[in-house]
Structure 1
């Protein structure tokens, strides 16, 4: 039983290491958030005696100079559980405030037992990224949504919406 688990871990490691680049899910399973990880952060691992993590970190990071421009998403879903509001008062304050109304493409979804997360979706409604926000304050949530959600000003001018000829 134990050897089967070790074998599965090793097989997963070799499959991951054989790919040219780790996916977001691969990096998350290794404990890295690919979208936010800069390679300069990987270089700091040796300062803490964590050299063994360096290779995986480098597979998940973005070069500091060529870090991708903040991705914009068509929609977002903030998933929360009202029973956990006492544990996350800042998230409760955001949800109960008028701030969500500033984002017409944000949906608040109540899911029993879940820690607060934001799911980012493309224009087809497919979840492209998920971000844990349990330690964020109200301003952080708002800033994140401003940075990552498309707004109508970002869209090309739709002449049917604007009634311009």
Structure 2
């Protein structure tokens, strides 16, 4: 029986590659550990220590994405919050948001009252084309406001840019 002599460096590098490939968990592995791999940033894993959850850091690191490679949040020119007033009793947090002064903070937010509709937010690009629709029936007022802050372009930024180009 003949043996092939394999260089030790090749064996070590192969083992290293196999170990690295196996060290990252799959989406299902991460989900079973309570992590959402698609949205988990590695900076979040570092914060686990602040809550005495050191034992989770290693698994968290195997499910996370580097913050710099994380997808940036898309910004939209406008949003439409569609809701039915007859369903306000079923969605008191949505009612509280709509009836508060919070919508006024978003000049590019329109509220439409459509009969029988569960609450949704439609995100539109600068051409008025709907790019995303998000169901918000389980959201509270703070979640809605934070979502709009994250996903809507601030109109005053656009106005300032316009003013800068027209300076004398």
Displacement, 1:136? 0.7
Partner Cα separation in structure 1 for residue 26 and residue 98 of structure 2: 35
Measured after TM superposition, the shift of residue 67 of structure 1 is 2.2
Distance 1:46 1:142 in 2: 31
Distance, in Å, in 2 between the alignment partners of 1:139 and 1:98 is 13
Q: Does 1:89 align with 2:92?
A: yes
Q: CA RMSD in A?
A: 2.7
**Gaps (5+ residues) in structure 2?**
1-24, 40-63
Q: Does 2:114 correspond to 1:128?
A: no
Q: Distance in 1 between matches of 2:95 and 2:124?
A: 22
| SS of equivalent to 1:157 | helix
Offset at 1:43?
3.6
Number of residue pairs aligned between Structure 1 and Structure 2? 116
Distance (Å, rounded) in 2 between the aligned partners of 1:64 and 1:99: 33
1:45 aligns with 2:23: no
Work out the CA distance in 2 between the residues paired with 1:127 and 1:139: 24
Change (3 A) 1:159 1:135: same
The structure 1 segments of at least 4 consecutive aligned residues displaced by more than 6 Å after TM superposition are: none
Other structure's SS at 1:125 match: coil
Residue 164 of structure 1 and its aligned partner are, at CA, apart by 2.2
For 2:96 and 2:90, the matched residues in 1 are separated by: 12
Match of 2:162 among 150, 158, 161: 158
Larger radius of gyration: 2
**Cα deviation, residue 46, structure 1:** 4.7
TM-score by length of 1: 0.61
Q: Distance in 2 between matches of 1:145 and 1:151?
A: 10
- Between the aligned partners of 2:90 and 2:71, the Cα distance in structure 1 is 34
